[in-house]
Amino acid sequence: MKTSGGTDAMKRRAGESAASTVDDGDVVGLGTGSTAAHAIRAIGERVDGGLDVRGVATSFASRELAIECGIHLVDLDEVTGPDSAGIDVAVDGADRVADGDLIKGGGGAHAREKLVDAAADRFLVVADPSKETAALDRPVPVEVLPSGRGVVADAVREAGGEASLRRAERKDGPVVTDNGNLLLDCAFGEIPDPGTLAAELADTPGVVEHGLFVGLADEIHVGTAEGVRVRE
């Protein structure tokens, strides 16, 4: 069997594996990032072949890609709420995966991602093996109201972390999210109890959403050099 260990090939395998579980008639949450993009392309190919799905985008980027791939899009509020279809499955990437809990928000899209992923009947995480760690250990992206950035940074310091404003790589200024807010990357070192930290961040005035996804994932599809590992 021919194997390919390049990171992009592993991300593609993970994305294709999750995309293959989508059923005809499903409402599908479309995640953000390079691994989720592979899943969106794979769903698009199945749509070309006759699969009938409706997608809910989690960012402007996933919306653009879904349109390019011919996936019919609906707004989250069209499919959620009383007597609505709901979201059957969401497919999304992660920056860290430890014991089923995630850090997301590397692309700054975690607020809409959490809305969509948490609303889905099945939330499938797609990742390459570099994302798997024993403990969540990278800075937690926190989306904040622009005027709340100092207040939230103070609260993060009190909670034992250090907040840095995310800056745009090739532009002079901060990253602005799809929702018009700012991002603080909050370093706590290893996070022994993600649930407690998640609750603390969620309780902080000025926080729109944080990137800790605790207990939300149903399946984790990890693309490897040889194939795909699926953990439930």
Out of 33, 139, 148, 161, the residue judged to bind ligand 5RP by CB under 6 A: 33
Least distance (Å) from ligand 5RP to the CB of residue 152?
18
Q: Does 104 bind ligand 5RP (CB under 6 A)?
A: yes
Closest of 151, 124, 111 to residue 29, by C-alpha? 124
Q: Does 107 bind ligand 5RP (CB under 6 A)?
A: yes
Number of residues that bind ligand 5RP (CB under 6 A): 18
Q: How far apart are the first and last CA of the chain?
A: 26
Spell out the alpha helix ranges (H) of 69-189.
Answer: 76-79, 110-119, 149-158
For the question of residue 113 being annotated catalytic, the response is yes
Dihedral through CA 179, CA 180, CA 182, CA 188, nearest 10? Answer: -10
Cα–Cα distance, 170 to 144 (Å, whole number): 22
Q: Does 79 bind ligand 5RP (CB under 6 A)?
A: no
Task: Tell me the binding residues for substrate.
Answer: 32-35, 92-95, 104-107, 131
Least distance (Å) from ligand 5RP to the CB of residue 5?
16
Is the Cβ of residue 31 or residue 206 nearer to ligand 5RP in the bound state?
A: 31
Phi, psi for residue 123 in degrees, rounded to 5: -110, 115
Q: Which residues bind ligand 5RP (CB under 6 A)?
A: 31-36, 92-95, 104-110, 113
